[in-house]
Amino acid sequence: MRSSRLNPEAVHPPVGNYSHAVRVESTDAVWIHVSGQVALDRDGQLVGPGDLRAQTRQVFENLKAILEANGASFADVVKTTTYLTTLDDLAGMREVRAEYLPEEPPASTAVQISALVLPEALIEVDAIAVVPR
């Protein structure tokens, strides 16, 4: 097995000591572990302060860009974890999420937490994708 780190230019540079994704290649599949994404645009500016739907859309656009940079898509995602600081518009978050995930969604976990690394961030999502060789 071989692993590599990836920080695609289509998303903001990592803020801190982490990589946006780690790609693990085996003989039969490529595993892509995507770090938690918050609603930062390419320039590192928070999108949609106070708006869970807008932040969800930016988070999934970031995930999409990272997956595509690894030759994957949302159809390859097998697991997501969603961290929310508010459940005020949970239905709206789910509507936006459904626009990106296939009809047969991956395994997923959602938890409400008290805060994220950015005080204005309302949502963070990480993902694991598997691309068969």
pLDDT in tens, the chain (133 residues): 898 898 898 999 888 889 999 999 999 999 999 999 999 999 999 999 999 999 999 999 999 999 999 999 999 999 999 999 999 999 999 999 999 997 889 999 999 999 999 999 999 999 999 999 8
pLDDT at 36: 97
CA distance linking residue 128 with residue 113, whole number of Å: 21
Integer Cα distance of 132 and 76 in angstroms: 9
Does residue 14 contact residue 5 with C-beta atoms inside 8 Å? no
Please give the biggest Cα pair distance in the chain: 44
pLDDT at 41: 97
